[in-house]
Amino acid sequence: MKLEIKDLHASVEGKEILKGVDLTIGQGETHALMGPNGSGKSTLAYTLMGHPKYQVTAGQVTINGESILGLTPDKRVKKGLFLAFQYPVSVQGVSMFSFLRAAYNNSRPAGTELPTIFEFKEVVAEKLKMLSMDESFLNRYLNEGFSGGEKKRAEILQMALMQPKFAVLDETDSGLDIDALRIVAEGINKVSGPETGSLMITHYQRILKYVKPQFVHVMYQGRIIESGGEELSRLLEEKGYTWIKGYKEEEQVAPSAP
């Protein structure tokens, strides 16, 4: 099973942000998507999930050969897609537990028998343990007053429950101190089985020491301008994004100048 993105163009409020993205993620693969701020990484994540503000103007996104572009976000979730947000929203009055249960129940394919509230509690308890999270988490309002680390752990808890086929993690490492980073990274490793394909969007190389990608891509100005193995992330860390920007700009200018 594959998530295939082909020549994807997408606009926000009439402005083209994604200008032809090509990327294929197979089950069991971990890809890192790096790139400077404003290059379109979050736009790609939102576009994949079907956020109504992001309009696809050209290209294709398929899971197992079937287009998902006509589907609403909830239907994409049922196809096995999951997004961990860069900035998770907080919702006063909605407990973590009821949120997780609603999200879980709505993500199951039609016709699946849903767990009772007691069965679900057991499932969640097991995942909490795996992520070294306290059960009191469940009684708190969704992300309300959560620290940066707690918010990111709550996202990974959702991922653990959903067991997605394809997970997009948008800067799950941002705002974490080194201990929280390790716990979150270990959580990601525990919840990504051989069936999961993941796209780790990150600005820094540090999380990639814990969650090892087989493929690293660099996005710049709405396109993937470079792909390689893990060594590419180390090269970027060493030389910075200006290195790759400069190198690519030179390359593009020469042959296409009128």
Q: What is the smallest separation between the CB atom of 219 and ligand ADP, expressed in angstroms? A: 7
Residue 40 site contact among Mg ion, ligand ADP, none (CB < 5 to 8 Å, cut-off depends on kind): ligand ADP
Give rounded-to-5 percent helix, strand, coil for the chain.
Answer: 40, 30, 30
The single residue among 5, 8, 41, 173 that binds ligand ADP, judged by CB under 6 A, is 41
Task: Check if the beta carbon of residue 31 is closer than 8 Å to that of residue 218.
Answer: no
Give the separation between CA 43 and CA 5, rounded to whole angstroms. Answer: 14
The single residue among 42, 158, 192, 198 that binds ligand ADP, judged by CB under 6 A, is 42
Between 98 and 174, name the residue whose CB sits nearer to Mg ion: 174
Between 52 and 194, name the residue whose CB sits nearer to ligand ADP: 52
If residue 74 lies in a helix (H) or strand (E), which one and from where to where? helix 73-78
> From edge to edge, which strands make up the β-sheet containing 15-26?
15-26, 2-12, 54-63, 66-67
Residue 22: CB atoms within 10 A of its CB come to 14
Give the separation between CA 149 and CA 187, rounded to whole angstroms. Answer: 12
Q: Which stretch binds ligand ADP (CB under 6 A): 31-39, 150-158, 209-217, 240-248?
A: 31-39
Q: What is the smallest separation between the CB atom of 38 and Mg ion, expressed in angstroms? A: 8
Residue 17 site contact among ligand ADP, Mg ion, none (CB < 5 to 8 Å, cut-off depends on kind): ligand ADP
Q: What is the smallest separation between the CB atom of 104 and ligand ADP, expressed in angstroms? A: 28
Q: Count CA within 13 A, CB hemisphere, residue 121.
A: 6
89 is a site residue for ligand ADP (CB under 6 A): no
Instruction: Return phi, psi of residue 8, to 5°.
Output: -75, 125
The 3-state secondary structure of 166-232, one letter per residue: EEEEECCCCCCCHHHHHHHHHHHHHHCCCCCEEEEECCCCHHHHCCCCCEEEEEECCEEEEEECHHH
53 is a site residue for ligand ADP (CB under 6 A): yes
Between 38 and 193, name the residue whose CB sits nearer to ligand ADP: 38
Between 213 and 222, name the residue whose CB sits nearer to ligand ADP: 222
Q: Which residues make up the interface to Mg ion (CB under 5 A)?
A: 41-42
Between 14 and 111, name the residue whose CB sits nearer to ligand ADP: 14
37 is a site residue for ligand ADP (CB under 6 A): yes
Between 17 and 211, name the residue whose CB sits nearer to Mg ion: 17
Instruction: Reduce the DSSP state of residue 239 to 3 states and report it.
Output: helix
**Binding residues for ligand ADP, per CB under 6 A?**
12-13, 17, 35, 37-43, 53
